[in-house]
Amino acid sequence: MKKPLLFLLFSVLCSTIYAQTISTATEIGKLVAIQDLPTYWDGTTLKQFSSYDTTGKNDDGFSGKYSFIRKNQDGSLVIFEDKGNGVINRIWTPTPNDDIFDFYFGGADIPSFSIKFSDLFSGKVYPFISPLTGNELGGFFCYFPIAYQNGCKIISRGKKLEFYQIQYRNYPSNYQVQTFKPELDQQARAALDGLSKSWSSLSNPTGNAVTKKAILAAGKSVTIAQFSKGGRIAAIKLKNADAYRGLNKQVSIKITWDDDKHPAVFMPVADFFGYAYGKESMQSLLIGSLDNVNYCYFPMPFNKKAKIELVYGTPDAGVKADPIQVDATIYTSEQKYNPAKEGKLYTYWNADKQTTPGVPHEFLSGTGKGHYVGTILQAQGLIPGMTLFFEGDDVTKIDGELRLHGTGSEDYFNGGWYALLDRWDRKMSLPLHGSLDYSLPFARTGGYRLFIADKMPFEKEIIHTIEHGPENNDKPGDYTSVAFYYAGKPLNEGKQSTPNNTLVKVYIPDTLMVYPQLTQYTVGGAVKIEGNILHSTTGGQVKIDLSELPKGEYKLYADMEKSTDGADIMIWQRQKKITDWITFNATNRTYIPNNYLCDISIDDFKNAITLHIKRDANKSIVNIGRLILVRKR
C-alpha cells in the first residue's frame, strides 16, 4: 500500500509544481510575446459560442432565434456558459446594443461584473480600450482577456440579441486561474499600457541580418538566404514591393526547412504578403506591405537547415515579364528549435479557381499536432453582381469535435455588413484583422485574421473551412487562401499545389456591375441623390466615376424604373455626347432590367460618364438600380 500512496503524493506534488498560473497580465502577455507563437499550448482547447443558424440556413442573428443558449423566466438570455477554467479572448458583433451583460464567475449567484454590451467595444470603459477593442469595417471587436476559474456564465438582460460570437480557451483543471476583475492589478495595467509599444517594436527586428541583392529574370530563381545551422528566422523584409504587383503573380516565395520533402511555403509573393488581386493591401501586425516593403514577423524555428528562394515562373506567350530587382533582408537568431515544445511554421496555399457546389472552401485540413495562427483570403465571385458568396460561415472541427462555427464570412474577419458605406466596403488594415479589398463591380473581396492569444491548438486533426454562399455552398467563386500554422511536420504532405500560370492568374470578369450605394458621384447643378434615385426639377449633371474598371470598350446597360414623374437624360463622356435623350417617363410604373443604353470607352482620360438631366419640374426623377458594363470582344 505504501508504493501506490507515495506515487499518488508524487503525482499531486508534480501537478502542483507544474500547474501554470493564468491571469489578466499573462493573457495580455501572450498578445505581446510574438516570439512564443511557435510554442505548443498542450491541454488547452479553443471553442466558441455564436448565433449561427443551427439548421444550416442563413438566419445567423437577423431574427435572434439562435442568439442565446436558453431564456430565463424573466426573458433574459444566457449567451455563454462554461463550467471549467478558461479565458474569453474574443467577443465580436455587428449589432451592439446598450443592454447590460452580467458575468457570473465561479458559479456565483449574483453577477461578478456587469457592463453594457456596447461598452465592451466603445473604449469608454477601462480596461476595454484600444487597441484590443474597437470597431471598423462594420464589426465591433473585443480581444481583452476575461479569465475565470471554475466556470463563467454571461446573461444579457435584454430580450433580444442579434449577431454575436464569444470565443474562449479552456485550461486544465490544475491551472491556477486568477478570475478577471475590472480593477486591474499593477502587472495587468503595465501589460496593457505597454501593448502598443511592444507591437510597434516588431517593425525594427533585431538579430543577425543577411542581405541579398540580385536581378531576377523570368524562368530563373534566386536563393536569398540559406542556413546550415539550426536557429530561427525572426523577420523577412523584401523591398520593392511594387515590383511584385500584377495580374499574373509570376514571382513566388519558397521556404524549405531541414530535410522536408516539400517546402513549408511555396506560393506567389503577392499571396504570401497579403496583396489583393495583385496589388499591395495588407498591413497587419505580423505580415503585409508598408512603404514599398513586404514584411513578415512570424517567428520561424528550424532544426538544422533553412532555405529561402524567390522563383520567377515562365509566363505565357505574350505576357510581359520584366526582370525584378531583388533586395531582401533576413533576420535570424541562434535560439535552438525545441521540437518537443514548439512547431515550425507551415502554410497551405489553396488556389481554388472554381469552388465545388455543396463543398466549402478549405483553409486547412490534415492530421497531426500543432496550432493554427492565421488566414488570408481573396474571394472572387464568378457570377456578376452582389457578393452573396460572402454569406458563407467558417466552420472549424478539431480532433473530431465541432469547436467553432461562425455567422458569415466578413464576420470571421471581425467585420460586418458588406456593400454598405463605411462598413465592409473597402480595404482596411488593423493589427489582427482587416479587409483586403471590396469591389462590387468585380464582385470580389477578401480579408485576413491573425490568431495569437487565440491560436487554435489541435492534437490529432484540424478541418478549417469557409462556405461560399448563404446556404449549401451554392455561389460559385474563385477562392485563394493562405493558412498559417505551426507543427512538427506539414499536415497535408504533398497536397498543396505548385504555383503555375493557371493558378496564379487574377480573374477579371467581362461583366462588371456598378451599384449606387458605393458609387462615387460628382454633382453639377441642383441634383439630390437618395440611394438609387437622382432628383432635379431644374436640370443638372451627375458624373459617375468608373476609374476602378479596366480599360476597354463596353456596352452599357442599366436596371431602370420608369414612372409618371420620370425625367429624360442624356449620357456624355467629357464633352462628347454619347446618346440622345433617354426617357425614364411612363404612364405606369415600369421596371426594365438590363436595358441597353449605349457603347462607351474607358481609358486613362475617359474613366467616367456624365448623366445630363433635362430641366422639367414635372419630370424630375431618374431611378437607376445598377449599371452593367459588358466588355466588347
pLDDT band of residue 554 (cuts 50, 70, 90) is very high
473: its cell numbers: 455552398
Q: What secondary structure letter does DSSP report for 161? A: -
What value does the mean pLDDT of the chain take? 95
**CA 618: distance to chain centroid?**
48
Q: What secondary structure letter does DSSP report for 119? A: G
Domain boundaries for CATH 2.60.120.1390 within the chain: 21-201, 205-509
Element containing residue 135 per DSSP (H, E)? strand 133-136
Judged against a pLDDT cut of 80, whether residue 390 lies above it is answered with yes
- Confirm if 289 and 273 have CB atoms less than 8 A apart: yes
φ, ψ at 561 (rounded to 5°)? -120, 120
Judged against a pLDDT cut of 60, whether residue 290 lies above it is answered with yes
Task: Give the C-alpha separation, 120 to 142, whole Å.
Answer: 6
Task: Give the C-alpha separation, 414 to 428, whole Å.
Answer: 12
Task: Give the C-alpha separation, 620 to 526, whole Å.
Answer: 11
Please choose, from the candidates 175, 103, 105, the residue with its C-alpha nearest in 3D space to the C-alpha of residue 142: 103
Task: Give the C-alpha separation, 472 to 60, whole Å.
Answer: 14
Domain boundaries for CATH 2.60.120.260 within the chain: 512-631
Please choose, from the candidates 360, 144, 344, 324, the residue with its C-alpha nearest in 3D space to the C-alpha of residue 241: 324
What pLDDT score was predicted for residue 12?
34
Query: What does the H/E/C string look like for 398-457?
Result: ECCEEEEECCCHHHHCCCCCECCCCCECCCEECCCEEEEEEECCCCEEEEEEECCCCCEE
507-552 pLDDT tens trace: 999 999 999 888 999 999 999 999 899 999 999 999 999 999 999 9
Q: What angle in degrees, to the nearest 10, is found between the helix axes of 186-193 and 24-32?
A: 20
- Confirm if 61 and 95 have CB atoms less than 8 A apart: yes
What pLDDT score was predicted for residue 1?
41
Judged against a pLDDT cut of 80, whether residue 59 lies above it is answered with yes
- Confirm if 546 and 572 have CB atoms less than 8 A apart: no
Handedness of CA 175, 176, 179, 182 (dihedral sign): negative
21-22/176-177 β-pairing:
parallel
301-352 pLDDT tens trace: 999 999 999 999 999 998 889 999 999 999 999 999 999 999 999 999 999 9
Handedness of CA 529, 532, 537, 543 (dihedral sign): positive
Per the DSSP assignment, residues forming a β-bridge with 109 are none
Handedness of CA 58, 64, 67, 69 (dihedral sign): negative
394-440 pLDDT tens trace: 999 999 999 999 999 999 999 999 999 999 999 999 999 999 999 99
- Confirm if 166 and 113 have CB atoms less than 8 A apart: no
Task: Give the C-alpha separation, 560 to 334, whole Å.
Answer: 66
pLDDT band of residue 19 (cuts 50, 70, 90) is low
CATH code, 21-201: 2.60.120.1390
**10 Å Cβ neighbour count for 552?**
15
Residues contacting 336, CB < 8 A, separation 6+: 230, 231, 301
Judged against a pLDDT cut of 50, whether residue 9 lies above it is answered with no
219-249 pLDDT tens trace: 999 999 999 999 999 999 999 999 999 999 9
Judged against a pLDDT cut of 90, whether residue 4 lies above it is answered with no
- Confirm if 223 and 210 have CB atoms less than 8 A apart: no
**10 Å Cβ neighbour count for 405?**
19
pLDDT band of residue 15 (cuts 50, 70, 90) is very low
What architecture is domain 205-509? Sandwich (2.60)
In percent, how much of the chain has pLDDT > 70? Answer: 97
Judged against a pLDDT cut of 70, whether residue 206 lies above it is answered with yes
Per the DSSP assignment, residues forming a β-bridge with 133 are 142
**10 Å Cβ neighbour count for 400?**
8
- The most distant pair of C-alpha atoms in the chain lies apart, rounded to whole Å, by 104
What pLDDT score was predicted for residue 7?
40
What pLDDT score was predicted for residue 34?
96
Element containing residue 136 per DSSP (H, E)? strand 133-136
Rg (CA), the chain: 27
**10 Å Cβ neighbour count for 570?**
16
What does 476-505 look like in DSSP terms, one character per residue?
-EEEEEEEEEEESS-TTTTTSPPP-HHHHS
Residues contacting 72, CB < 8 A, separation 6+: 78, 155
Judged against a pLDDT cut of 80, whether residue 11 lies above it is answered with no
Angle at 138 (CA atoms; ends 627, 161), nearest 5 degrees: 120
96-110 pLDDT tens trace: 999 999 999 999 999
115-125 pLDDT tens trace: 999 999 999 99
- Confirm if 404 and 396 have CB atoms less than 8 A apart: yes
Per the DSSP assignment, residues forming a β-bridge with 528 are 535
- Confirm if 377 and 295 have CB atoms less than 8 A apart: no
Task: Give the C-alpha separation, 529 to 518, whole Å.
Answer: 13
Which CATH superfamily is 512-631 part of? Galactose-binding domain-like (2.60.120.260)
Q: How many helices (H) and strands (E) does the chain have?
A: 7, 46
Judged against a pLDDT cut of 90, whether residue 494 lies above it is answered with no
Output the pTM of the full model.
Answer: 0.95
